[in-house]
Structure 1
Amino acid sequence: MATALDTYSDMDGDDIVQTAPHNIDAEQALLGAILYDNEVYNRLGDFLRGEHFYDPVHMRIFDVIATLIQRGSLADAVVLKNRFEKDEGLSEIGGVEYLSFLLHNAPSGAAGPAYAKLIFDLAIRRELIRVGGEIREFAENPETEAEAIEQIELAERKLFDLAESGGAQSGFDSFETAVTASINMARAAYERDGGLSGLSTGLVDLDRQLGGLHESDLIILAGRPSMGKSALAANIAFHVARNYKSEKDVLGNEKAVEGGVCALFSLEMSSEQLATRLLAEHSGVPSNKIRRGEITPDQFDAIRDSAAELQAIPLFIDDTGGLSIGGLVARCRRLKRTRGLDLIVVDYLQLLSGGALMKSSDNRVQEITAITMGLKALAKELDVPVLALAQLSRQVEQREDKRPQLSDLRESGSIEQDADVVMFVFREEYYKSRTEPREGTEEHMAWQTEMEELHGKAEVIVGKQRHGPIGTVKLSFTAELTKFGNLVQDDRYDGYVG
């Protein structure tokens, strides 16, 4: 059996031609095993496709078998005989009698998954050879205008696609495939009592409004400075990572079944500052006291216990300043490949740069457009939600009603255009605290009453959502812990599954 490069030899025994890695015997064995017992197909998992077979006839046979079994029909040599009686490719290797040959030489069904993995591995090797050739040819071509950094990013993307799916290009999906994916998403929500089809944010009303954070979505979380958007994003990332549970798929890869692996790009704060915030949230000790060391022995014990518990969570922080969109994409691909990845958080969008691909004459609007398009493309490529923070323009401050609107997004309409969801963080308490009247007056008493009503409350305004309605979600906010929480009212969360 050939599992590496096969060679053809001339009369003198000299090697003259090499063929790509393949194993015809393994392909025959797997097809025969499935024809003998269709249940073997159901034990293969969903990683093997017809395109992974080297022999085009084997590819067509497998595709027909897969279609029949998925429809609940029997796929045996008799049924396939009617399908392939006029197949010219099959005629060249023995006609429909070839199906009997496969069945007669079928191995034990228990060996099916092993043959499938071998076929898949050899298909990946063939693709790797092809992609490597394309990369080399592109780099050696003197007429290529792309800069070296662009070629590296293109090469890395091709290799990532290959590592993820076994094919450098995904091509078209049939409508049947798309509908199946939609049904699976609906089933996931149904099995969670109609709660979520995406990642839980840990905030009950926000989850109900959004249905969770959906794969391949670009979610913009915008706000003016001091509104708490960084805190909210960190809270969500922390919740996702802390609730991570996984299981292995048929290829032995870890796959999240709850929560997820999270990448948090902090272009404004250091990883140490973020860690302090998360320790404060988890331990209940205010972050300013942690930084100054003004803590009691009991509080120190709480911080130590929280640190020990949080060290193992799959939250990866990158605090590189001035990071380019190309660099961010490359790091996410690498993390997805090596550790898995289920959520990307970017704090914040306007601190990213377009990188070397942006010409010096390009203006900031064009650069932001390239960045938002890059983030949306990344969400689709890695099939994970991307939560990107954004600053709002100062025109918010000039209105009497300070609640933000879509038109307040700074520098580019592409932020609104490319996003699947746009949310705004708003804390009226912040603005009201800056309008304190003179003490002892009736206005001051009314102001105090209003401040008491607003204290510890925040709003997340969903201004755009492709998958559902817009609206306002009310949350609690604990300033000393920079922590958002559920604003519990009337015990309406009993029985909620998040």
Structure 2
Amino acid sequence: MNEITGFDARQANVQTPETMPHSVEAEQQLLGAILTNNDVYDRVASIIGSKHFYDPVHARIFEIAAARIAKNQLASPVTLKTFMEDDEGLKELGGPAYLARLAGTAMSAFAVRDYAQMIYDLAIRRELIQLGRDISDKASRVDISSEPKEQIVEAEQHLYRLSEQGQTESGFQSFLRAVTEAVNVANVAYQREGGLAGISTGLLDMDGKLGGLHKSDLLILAGRPSMGKTSLATNIAFNVAKAYKKGRMPDGTEGAVQGGVVGFYSLEMSAEQLAGRILAEASEISSHKIRQGDMTEAEFRRFVEAAKALEACPLYIDDTPALPISQLAARARRLKRTHGLDLLIIDYLQLVRGTGRSESRVNEISEITMGMKAIAKELNIPVIALSQLSRQVESRDDKRPQLSDLRESGSIEQDADVVMFVYRGEYYKEREKPGEENVEAMAKWIEDMERLHGKAEVIVGKQRHGPIGTIELAFEAQFTRFGNLAKPWQQGPSGGDEY
């Protein structure tokens, strides 16, 4: 029998109901290879850490060796002996002589990554078993402070965290590889209709300015009440979901080759109200008429046909009020796992709750925006979060919003990749109507109203990877619909706007 594997009670293959999955042999071989050749450590450091070792003595050996190698110092049985002479666990295994046996019986270093992966996989299995026990233990204890729904969210978070671990290709990468990935992204954009690197919003001028909605980006869409934030968000959601086409991606996986699956958190309006807005846009029937039921038979038929056409759209709405950011993230993960997820929209940011640990509202908003950016990166999707603006906009002569108007926290501006403001001059001009007796002022007002009618601006105040500036859009209030604004050279023979 090989002397190093003579610990019968500690063997990997001995499995009893009380024994967790482990492989002492794999741990011994890996540690022996590291102590023999310190260069081996760099090949396994991205896969495992000391916490993944089953044997606590092995974990301490790995930890001390890693610390010495990180300082460019030699990690060998002789150098580690100094640090572990008083280690009680090591004494049980034969003292410092055990370190020499590890190094002396280590096999070739070529298999170290396989050993490291095996140790990691067994550690994950142990965590899964422990998580299952914790879930069972918590569920069996009837505690008023621990609701079943909260336990489910907590368990789901732990499971997702486990599934996302072990990305062994993370860390530094060569410039060649980075360039290759950049070319692949550009190639996908070239092949995609419209030449966009991201998901098309369905609004040409917005796509031109943003280059589409990019993965892992957090986009803030802000504005004062009645500017049309929700309308623009629902328009984008509808356009993306309507254009959804599934196919094979360049990397060989199945996914959205056009459009995408959309998740919409509607914290202010009910799912029915939001669906009504989308149907008003699709059927071209006034949302007021839909609410009142004041439709002709032809309009109602058109409304039903639009509803049937939208049944297949991959648009999922969650209208749970006052969601905490942790639950919002958990539900987004679940949606991605069950139906897929290519775009997430949150209406609106100030209605999301933090964890409750923040001392001030400013800190809570910071926590929420950081959480939203984390969701975008973790799920590799664009996240659009709507945001309210402070009242100071109303006190200025020029009501066009700017970055300093973002309400409650500078972290909104800091964490966002893109900040956009919705502005409708028509809304403010309408409230400046002069008295009938002032003919000159009235004529000027009518002229201004005609110029502003049916138009909206989306002001891009910040963009990490593109220009800032103003996007002009058409706005049809009765359908709560934003559209592409026809330029003078795009107008038809009648001279009217073509949406």
Partner AA of 1:319 in structure 2: D
**Partner residue in 1 for 2:226:** 226
CA deviation string 1:175-213 (max 9, x = no partner): 444433322222222224773100111100000000001
**Aligned pair 1:377/2:361, yes or no?**
no
Q: Cα RMSD (Å) of the superposition?
A: 3.8
**Partner residue in 1 for 2:166:** 167
Q: Equivalent residue of 1:212, what SS?
A: coil
Give the C-alpha shift of residue 467 in structure 1: 0.4
Give the C-alpha shift of residue 236 in structure 1: 0.3
Q: Equivalent residue of 2:431, what SS?
A: helix
Structure 1 residues 404 and 128, CA gap change in structure 2 (3 angstroms): same
- The answer (yes or no) to whether the contact 1:475–1:486 under 8 Å persists in 2 is yes
Partner AA of 1:185 in structure 2: V
Q: Distance in 2 between matches of 1:229 and 1:127?
A: 47
Q: Distance in 2 between matches of 1:346 and 1:216?
A: 15
Structure 1 residues 249 and 197, CA gap change in structure 2 (3 angstroms): closer
**Aligned pair 1:388/2:357, yes or no?**
no
TM-score normalised per structure 1: 0.70
Give the C-alpha shift of residue 133 in structure 1: 5.1
Structure 1 residues 183 and 194, CA gap change in structure 2 (3 angstroms): farther
CA deviation string 1:328-353 (max 9, x = no partner): 00100110111110000000000111
**Partner residue in 2 for 1:277:** 277
Q: Which moved more, 1:183-192 or 1:169-178?
A: 169-178
CA deviation string 1:135-193 (max 9, x = no partner): 479999xxxxxx97999767534522554x67378742524444333222222222247
Kindly report which structure 2 residues correspond to 1:297-446, keeping only aligned pairs within 5 A, or say none. Answer: 297-355=297-355, 357-359=356-358, 362-440=359-437, 441-446=439-444
Aligned pairs, number: 390
- The answer (yes or no) to whether the contact 2:22–2:119 under 8 Å persists in 1 is no
Structure 1 residues 224 and 187, CA gap change in structure 2 (3 angstroms): same
TM-score normalised per structure 2: 0.70
Q: Distance in 1 between matches of 2:406 and 2:466?
A: 21
Q: Distance in 1 between matches of 2:119 and 2:274?
A: 43
Q: Distance in 2 between matches of 1:297 and 1:123?
A: 69
- The answer (yes or no) to whether the contact 1:266–1:348 under 8 Å persists in 2 is yes
**Partner residue in 2 for 1:108:** none
**Aligned pair 1:290/2:290, yes or no?**
yes
Q: Distance in 1 between matches of 2:335 and 2:168?
A: 20
**Partner residue in 1 for 2:261:** 261
Partner AA of 2:293 in structure 1: G
Q: Distance in 1 between matches of 2:451 and 2:209?
A: 24
Give the C-alpha shift of residue 255 in structure 1: 1.2
Partner AA of 1:433 in structure 2: E
Q: Equivalent residue of 2:409, what SS?
A: coil
Q: Distance in 1 between matches of 2:226 and 2:430?
A: 13
Partner AA of 2:339 in structure 1: R
- The answer (yes or no) to whether the contact 1:127–1:162 under 8 Å persists in 2 is no
- The answer (yes or no) to whether the contact 2:248–2:257 under 8 Å persists in 1 is no
Q: Distance in 2 between matches of 1:450 and 1:251?
A: 53
Q: Equivalent residue of 1:280, what SS?
A: helix
Kindly report which structure 2 residues correspond to 1:234-253, keeping only aligned pairs within 5 A, or say none. Answer: 234-247=234-247
Structure 1 residues 15 and 447, CA gap change in structure 2 (3 angstroms): closer
**Partner residue in 2 for 1:455:** 453
- The answer (yes or no) to whether the contact 2:47–2:120 under 8 Å persists in 1 is no
Q: Distance in 2 between matches of 1:412 and 1:368?
A: 6
- The answer (yes or no) to whether the contact 1:238–1:315 under 8 Å persists in 2 is yes
Kindly report which structure 2 residues correspond to 1:175-186, keeping only aligned pairs within 5 A, or say none. Answer: 175-176=174-175, 177-186=177-186
Structure 1 residues 275 and 151, CA gap change in structure 2 (3 angstroms): closer
Q: Distance in 2 between matches of 1:127 and 1:184?
A: 35
- The answer (yes or no) to whether the contact 1:405–1:463 under 8 Å persists in 2 is yes
Q: Distance in 2 between matches of 1:312 and 1:364?
A: 40
Structure 1 residues 137 and 412, CA gap change in structure 2 (3 angstroms): farther
Structure 1 residues 170 and 301, CA gap change in structure 2 (3 angstroms): farther
**Partner residue in 2 for 1:191:** 191
**Partner residue in 1 for 2:34:** none
Partner AA of 1:320 in structure 2: T
CA deviation string 1:213-247 (max 9, x = no partner): 10000000000000000000010011111111112
Q: Distance in 1 between matches of 2:172 and 2:347?
A: 33
* Structure 1 residues without counterparts, runs of 5 or longer: 1-7, 22-49, 53-87, 99-121, 141-146, 494-498
Q: Equivalent residue of 1:435, what SS?
A: coil
Q: Distance in 1 between matches of 2:298 and 2:119?
A: 59
Q: Distance in 2 between matches of 1:92 and 1:124?
A: 19
**Partner residue in 1 for 2:94:** none
- The answer (yes or no) to whether the contact 1:266–1:347 under 8 Å persists in 2 is yes
Q: Distance in 2 between matches of 1:236 and 1:384?
A: 15
Q: Equivalent residue of 1:464, what SS?
A: strand
Q: Share of identical aligned residues, percent?
A: 53
Structure 1 residues 407 and 170, CA gap change in structure 2 (3 angstroms): farther
Q: Distance in 2 between matches of 1:252 and 1:432?
A: 53
Q: Distance in 2 between matches of 1:220 and 1:436?
A: 32
Structure 1 residues 127 and 488, CA gap change in structure 2 (3 angstroms): farther
Q: Equivalent residue of 1:398, what SS?
A: coil
Structure 1 residues 168 and 454, CA gap change in structure 2 (3 angstroms): same
- The answer (yes or no) to whether the contact 1:161–1:169 under 8 Å persists in 2 is no
Q: Distance in 1 between matches of 2:372 and 2:242?
A: 24
- The answer (yes or no) to whether the contact 1:160–1:337 under 8 Å persists in 2 is no
- The answer (yes or no) to whether the contact 2:47–2:167 under 8 Å persists in 1 is no
- The answer (yes or no) to whether the contact 1:220–1:388 under 8 Å persists in 2 is yes
Structure 1 residues 269 and 336, CA gap change in structure 2 (3 angstroms): same
Partner AA of 2:229 in structure 1: K
